Structure 1
Amino acid sequence: MASKNHVLYLRGSCPPEKLISLWDKFNRFYDLDMTRLERSRLRKKGFASARMFLLARKDFGSGNSTGAQDIEWILMRSEGLLNAAAADARERWLSAVDNKQRIQIDGLELVRLTREGNQSPSWTWRFSRDLYEELRNSIVEDIRHHRIDRLSDTVERIWRAPGFAGVRAQGKSLMKLIKDEQIRSQKPSALIDLPQRFGYIRRIPDKGMRLSFFLKNK
């Protein structure tokens, strides 16, 4: 969605039983029911378009006092004019292009990076600054203290991370760090085998289901 200039966002969570009313509210303000073509035409006229994304965890249906875990949501919109219904809306929009307001989910952050061979930046996911530093520090400490089992766990964690371009670039840097630190340790027992290449994320169709159907069947 960010690639369509939907860089302003709100995020939060709510109980499943309140999700329909939340959706209806945002739909009145930001016309969420529009098709992709309708949103494109809207932006060409100078109006903002928006989409709302919902995340139900694997353990959805258990967790809080009502017996159902909250659903996480992110509402993203483009710059532009808003309809009359949204005139009095007082949402405090964040910007995904602001370094201090990046969208983060499960240790990953959404960023714009210029890939090799490209002139303009594109959107991708990478490890957040905190997680990347945590991985670096863990690698250095485990090699220097010969904690091979923990180092192997860290390598497995990096290897199994989603193969977005940003994650792959960071993963290669971390693998190089491991090689350099292992050579510096000068202890053959500290050497471990490293993966030769990282996986890629395959593009999948943008599919979904009606919210009412989802809630009824979950």
Structure 2
Amino acid sequence: MFDPPVHIHKTVFMQRVLDAVSHGYHWHTSGTVPLNKAQRLAAKFGEHYAIHRNENQRAYAKRKRECNARLFLYAPPQAKVLAWFLLATDGDGRIHEEERLRHAQDVLGRIRLDDDYELIRRTRKSDKGGGTVWSWRMTKDCERRWRERIISACRQSHALAITQAIGSLYRVPGFSGIREQTGALIALARAEWRRRHGTLDALILPPKLPYIERLPDTSLALSQVIRQGRVET
């Protein structure tokens, strides 16, 4: 029986989904599933869409102009359900007939995670090689919440709240699109604090924004997640 991996770290999960979309898995649908029903869902997708294919089988299907599909599972800490993303390539296949798929390049069809991040196609700076690449960025609502938190923290007479906000901001996943937004939010924090307090002496900033590197796989087999009861049901 197909035993799909379950990602237990958000940044690794985001990186693997980005990898798939970068390799042509642009069609997608998603949802949540209780842990005790996840194997049934994976079995259905395996039977209908062959999500268990290995690399050679996927290459053969591509040559035949058939689509390939992949299932990504994520277990948020202390969650009662698994988040699932079903991705597919162009080509002939049941998934395009049976699922209501959206295209990741459509503005209204972007892949989103927790209403906090969305996957976009963005232009890379010339000093970084130019061209366009896929990257995660904060959604508008997420970015707005950060702006409101920063402005509210800067209104306080002491630096504790803004220091905590900046510390949290530096821990968001360091994908290029998110890093660009984080840089703008840090600039906002500096400007707001200086405007209200006249000096940056009390503002503690880490030396530089973190980059996202290639992360090792930390997933667990679905059967293992169920045995360990990592997700509450």
What range describes the TM-score normalised by the shorter chain of this pair? 0.7 to 0.9
Partner of 1:63: none
Offset of residue 213 of structure 1: 4.1
**Higher RCO, Cα 8 Å, sep 6+:** 2
Q: Secondary structure at the match of 2:208?
A: coil
Amino acid at match of 1:40: A
- Aligned CA RMSD, in angstroms, stands at 2.5
| Superposition deviation, residue 155 in structure 1 | 0.7
Secondary structure at 1:170 match in 2: helix
Name 2:60's counterpart in structure 1. 41
Q: 1:30 to 1:206 in 2, by over 3 A?
A: farther
Paired position in structure 1 for 2:25: 6
Cα distance in 2 between the residues matched to 1:89 and 1:15: 25
Q: Within 1, Cα distance between the matches of 2:157 and 2:111?
A: 36
Paired with 2:228 and 2:195, the residues of 1 have a C-alpha distance of 56
Answer whether contact 1:143 1:190 (CA < 8 A) is retained. Answer: no
Residue 48 (structure 1) shift = 0.9
Q: Residues 182 and 190 of structure 1 are in contact (CA less than 8 Å); yes or no, is this contact kept in structure 2?
A: no
Tell me how far apart the structure 2 counterparts of residues 172 and 78 of structure 1 sit (CA, whole Å): 34
Match of 2:209 among 174, 194, 198: 198
Q: Greater shift after overlay, 151-160 or 134-143? A: 134-143
Q: Is the 8 A contact 1:54 1:73 kept in 2?
A: yes
What residue is the counterpart of 1:54 in the other structure?
73
Question: Contact (CA 8 Å) 2:194, 2:200: kept in 1 or not?
Answer: no
What's the counterpart of residue 95 of structure 1?
103
In 1: Cα distance, 2:220 partner to 2:188 partner = 44
1:27 to 28, 46, 56: 46
Q: Which moved more, 1:123-132 or 1:202-211?
A: 202-211
Q: CA deviation at 1:145?
A: 5.0
> Residues 153 and 101 of structure 1: is their aligned pair in 2 closer, same or farther, counting only changes over 3 Å?
farther
Does the aligned pair in 1 maintain the 2:120–2:136 contact within 8 Å? Answer: yes
Alignment equivalent of 1:116, drawn from 125, 131, 136? 125
Distance 1:54 1:36, change over 3 A: same
Query: Structure 2: how far apart are the matches of 1:177 and 1:95?
Result: 34
Change (3 A) 1:138 1:56: closer
Give 1:191 deviation, angstroms.
4.2
1:185 equivalent in alignment to 2:196 = yes
Q: Displacement of 1:126 after TM fit?
A: 1.7
Using structure 1 for the length normalisation, give the TM-score: 0.82
* Alpha-carbon distance change, 87 to 14 in structure 1, aligned in 2, over 3 angstroms: closer
Q: Distance in 1 between matches of 2:205 and 2:95?
A: 55
Please give the secondary structure, in 2, of the residue aligned with 1:166: helix
Distance 1:80 1:4 in 2: 14
Instruction: Choose 187-196 or 102-111, whichever is displaced more.
Output: 187-196
Q: Specify the alignment match of 2:143 in structure 1.
A: 132
Residue ranges of structure 2 left out of the alignment (5+ in a row): 1-19
Equivalent-residue separation in structure 1 for 2:64 and 2:218 (angstroms) = 26
Greater mean alpha carbon deviation, residues 178-187 or residues 9-18? 178-187
Taking structure 2 as the reference length, what is the TM-score of the superposition?
0.78
1:169-184 equivalent positions in 2, closer than 5 A: 169-184=180-195
CA contact (8 A) 2:33 2:83 kept: yes
